[in-house]
């Protein structure tokens, strides 16, 4: 069996900062209301020239610099995202074109669990001999699929990208255990209709009265979402209960598989969804909140990008050393969950 580790991390965050106080200027809310319910103070907003490809490339180049590798040294590229710039082709193919990576390139959509899903897929492709080194990216521009008049959702999200490079390591190091799952019955608890093939955009241009004839032969035209709500929608109460439970169960499962005690784990890097979720999970697990690396106060919820962004920051801040046990754990729409336990081998 081939053992796999995180060799390098990178991240990219848009330069524009949108604070809670900025939101007060156009939204019926207050900084105190947002912070007390979420722990969020501000978030990053992608500019006109900062799409997911741009964010992914910058995060990937950051990771490559830390590993002293070049694009051609990578033979597997996986991008986790729910907000791909285009429906076709996969964002990973565009990343491959720009960086010069080789081998398979594809996207994964498991929402906020996407990064952990992507790492586990890469792990098995490497174990199967399909690839020797992998680039795994989590990237989102969630602020482009939310309704900025809906304070129940728009205050929660931000944009950004994180990346890791995976490479082989010695036995007993690197990824020691993983846990993935989904509860499809919860697929209506977090969703966004816009951009999907079930709801096409409104017809544009001069149709010269052809609409009725076209609709006769093209019945899907009746599903144009010009009169539908295309933005992200969420049942916050139900998602909260699911997230707390699954975060705890996944952490315990990872430790059980690897035959380690939770007290041996140096750091947990969770999906950065909500301060209250992490706080409740820490209490249920019986561990200090300090065991979690949190940055959602500055970056909010960046979905598939949140774990790799937080991991890069934790490494850069010196919170992880070689030999430490580190858990990455996410949960999100689907409803999905995923976790990875790593014996850290060193990283930039």
CATH of residue 46's domain is 3.40.47.10
Confidence of residue 200 (pLDDT cuts 50, 70, 90): low
Q: Is the pLDDT of residue 199 over 70?
A: no
User: Would you state the pLDDT for residue 10?
Assistant: 97
- Are the C-beta atoms of residues 310 and 92 closer than 8 Å to each other? no
Residue 127 lies in a domain: yes
Strands (E) located in 301-344: 325-332, 336-343
Residue 10 lies in a domain: yes
**What's the pLDDT score for residue 159?**
97
Is the per-residue pLDDT at 225 higher than 60? Answer: no
Residue 125 included in any domain: yes
Mean pLDDT of 265-285: 95
Question: At 21, which helix (H) or strand (E)?
Answer: helix 20-23
Question: What domain range includes position 96?
Answer: 3-186+233-343
Of 26-40, 97-111, 228-242, 281-295, the least confident: 228-242
Q: What is the distance between the alpha carbons of residues 340 and 177, in angstroms, rounded to a whole number? A: 6
pLDDT value for 187: 86
Q: Which residue has the higher pLDDT, 190 or 261?
A: 261
Band of residue 206 on the pLDDT scale cut at 50, 70, 90 = low
Determine contact, residues 228/207, Cβ cutoff 8 Å.
no
Is residue 81 very low, low, confident or very high in pLDDT (cuts 50, 70, 90)? very high
Question: How many independent structural domains does the chain possess?
Answer: 1
Residue 207: inside a domain: no
Is residue 281's pLDDT more than 90? yes
Q: Give a yes or no: residue 221 inside a domain.
A: no
Residue 212 has pLDDT above 90, yes or no: no
User: Which residues are within 8 A (CB) of 340 and not within 5 positions of it... i.e. 6 or more apart?
Assistant: 116, 119, 120, 175, 177, 178, 254, 327, 328, 329
| Structural domain includes residue 199 | no
* CA 139 to the chain's CA centroid: 6
pLDDT for residue 198 is more than 80: no
CA–CA distance, 308 with 295 (Å, rounded to integer): 12
**pLDDT (mean) for 216-230:** 62
Residue positions annotated with a catalytic role: 112, 271, 301
- The more confident residue out of 88 and 325 is 325
**315 has pLDDT over 80:** yes
pLDDT the model gives residue 2 = 83
Enumerate the β-bridge partners of residue 330. 338
Give the pLDDT confidence score for residue 253 in this predicted structure: 97
Q: Confirm whether 119 is domain-assigned.
A: yes
Mean per-residue pLDDT of the chain: 91
Please tell me the predicted confidence (pLDDT) of residue 270.
Answer: 97
Q: Within a domain: residue 20?
A: yes
Distance CA 132, CA 134 (A): 7
């Amino acid at each position: 069996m081939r053992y796999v580790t995180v060799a390098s991390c990178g991240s990219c965050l848009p330069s524009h900062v949108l604070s809670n106080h900025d939101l007060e200027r156009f939204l019926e809310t207050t900084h105190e209301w947002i912070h007390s319910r979420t722990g969020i103070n501000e978030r990053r907003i992608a500019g006109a020239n900062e799409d997911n490809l741009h964010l992914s490339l910058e995060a990937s180049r950051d990771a490559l610099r830390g590993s002293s590798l070049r694009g051609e040294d990578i033979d597997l590229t996986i991008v986790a995202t729910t907000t791909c710039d285009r429906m076709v082709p996969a964002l990973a193919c565009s990343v491959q074109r720009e960086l010069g990576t080789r081998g398979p390139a594809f996207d994964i959509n498991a929402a906020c669990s996407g990064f952990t899903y992507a790492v586990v897929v890469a792990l098995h492709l490497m174990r199967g001999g399909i690839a020797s080194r992998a680039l795994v990216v989590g990237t989102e521009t969630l602020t482009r699929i939310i309704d900025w008049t809906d304070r129940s959702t728009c205050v929660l999200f931000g944009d950004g990208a994180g990346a890791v490079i995976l490479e082989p390591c010695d036995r007993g190091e690197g990824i020691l255990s993983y846990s993935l799952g989904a509860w499809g019955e919860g697929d209506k608890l977090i969703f966004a209709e816009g951009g999907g093939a079930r709801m096409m955009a409104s017809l544009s241009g001069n149709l010269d009265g052809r609409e009725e004839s076209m609709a006769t032969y093209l019945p899907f035209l009746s599903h144009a979402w010009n009169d539908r709500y295309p933005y992200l929608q969420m049942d916050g109460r139900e998602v909260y209960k699911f997230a707390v439970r699954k975060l705890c169960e996944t952490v315990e499962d990872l430790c059980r598989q690897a035959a380690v005690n939770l007290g041996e784990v140096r750091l947990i890097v969770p999906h950065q969804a909500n301060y209250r979720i992490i706080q409740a999970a820490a209490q249920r697990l019986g561990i200090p909140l300090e065991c979690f690396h949190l940055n959602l106060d500055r970056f909010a919820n960046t979905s598939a990008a949140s774990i790799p962004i937080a991991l890069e920051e934790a490494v850069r801040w010196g919170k992880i050393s070689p030999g430490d046990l580190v858990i990455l754990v996410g949960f999100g729409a689907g409803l999905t969950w995923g976790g990875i336990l790593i014996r850290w081998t060193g990283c930039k």
